[in-house]
Structure 1
């Protein structure tokens, strides 16, 4: 079984050809850990996620009639709680849905926190707003063993290279979450247990041959993307762009 560190490294490496800037790799790092949130060892984190979601939903409703991001946190916590390990969260449908929901959480909280600060007459740089959102999401997903390192890396990056949240592209955020999660799937396919990738359509288990097929698809997509759009690997001037 691959450990957290291996999944994190794989998520970054698989996302690298598609990342518009270094900052987006944080989303790939998070995405690489999303599938294992269904593990019994993470049940306490999922319960905390649910409680925080409820608290945020109640608190944010004071300023917003529909605290969508908080409601999505509750929904995601529910999905993780009821999912059997290596079940729905380890399927192509599961990682697609969860990547989309986490993208909504990120993109929904950024402008909302900004609105909250405006109402409270507090002026914070956009990088701080983004930092708060990244730490909130990271708190839910990142292993407690590495959480402090994650906080430090995000904080140092945003301090050295401030990011205007208005330049963060939702499609790129989703892509990074998704590729990170797919990298997790590929590593788990390499284990003897295999995965039922196509639940609920099929419960057939797939193993290394499917992992090799997904890697081949990744190589083809990477080469095409780099050829058409360029990437950090070919254009170092784009390293700190965010759109």
Structure 2
């Protein structure tokens, strides 16, 4: 399992993914789940993955291979004219990998399933985010649904729903995502640090600020400890319910 969030703000996109992979209760490893393609001044596209690791790595490898050179860009994530067409391509590639991995009549395709977040902007279009399902179909982010989560979503969603504001700046958005991730890490061993973070500013058509947040990051530690203290303080001031 994993945890990834793609969030749209008035000023751009904020993306974060964890890096933990697991093969049992005591066998953990680190694996990148955020991948970016860029043509400076023309497009910037980022994909985050959750689900079967072999499936997602095969999908990313196919997309990379088909984007190596001009003559090989058919189909290519660097050639599609819109983000909608990019989402269609990624969905078709995911479905292609799942269908070729599944042994018909022997193994359920569910074992090879994966969910994908595709985010970015292509010149002539607006920055946007899509969530792609294992079947290859997808939905696009809207004002009513301003963020997508994939993976272990339930623990980190309440804080997003209560605090999200499209007008918030990038720094506050990162703080919000870190609280959401911290809540998930403390609730589920299959999600863990380090976290990969990317910020995309509208109409920049270039990969923006990126970093990897580790367990010893002092700001992350302050947010984690401060959020726990704030919850305890808030609990103490709530009225007691007496029968």
**Fold shared by both chains (TM-score > 0.5):** no
TM range (shorter): under 0.3
Q: If each structure's helix is expressed as a fraction of its own residues, which one has the higher value?
A: 1
Q: Which has the larger radius of gyration?
A: 2
Q: If each structure's strand is expressed as a fraction of its own residues, which one has the higher value?
A: 2
Structure 1 length normalisation: TM-score?
A: 0.28
> Which structure carries more relative contact order (alpha carbon 8 Å, separation 6+)?
1
Structure 2 length normalisation: TM-score?
A: 0.28
